Amino acid sequence: MAQPIEHIIIVGGGTAGWLAANLLNSRFGERENAPKITLIESPDIPTVGVGEATVPNMPRTLRDIGIDQKDFLRRCNASFKLGVLFGRWNVDNDGNLFDYMNPFGGSKDIEGYGSGEYYM
């Protein structure tokens, strides 16, 4: 029988590292023999500030780690992102530049438009 995991080390902070640590902590909680979770991030690496967004599954993630969605949105001045617009993405057959909207997940059309396009 395999030995239980005693310690999980997450190398790198940022959104991915902190979300991973919080999700693991929410899964193991105060269970007996829960592994210790350690997050290591460098004080010498500045915040990237790439304009990350809350994608459609973020409400569930927040709920899973015990963070109130309304409080999170207010404190972080956040909004929910429905897709990514790639401006001047490519050219059509006539050489004209066009944009490309990549929606996050499938959704029902709103008045004949995908939700990502509808809210643009």
Instruction: List residues with catalytic annotation.
Output: 81
b or e along 75-105 (b: 16 or more beta carbons within 10 Å of the residue's beta carbon)? eeeeeeebbeeeeeeeeeeeeeeeeeeeebe
Length of the chain equals 120
CB atoms within 10 A of CB 13: 17
Residue 57 identity: N
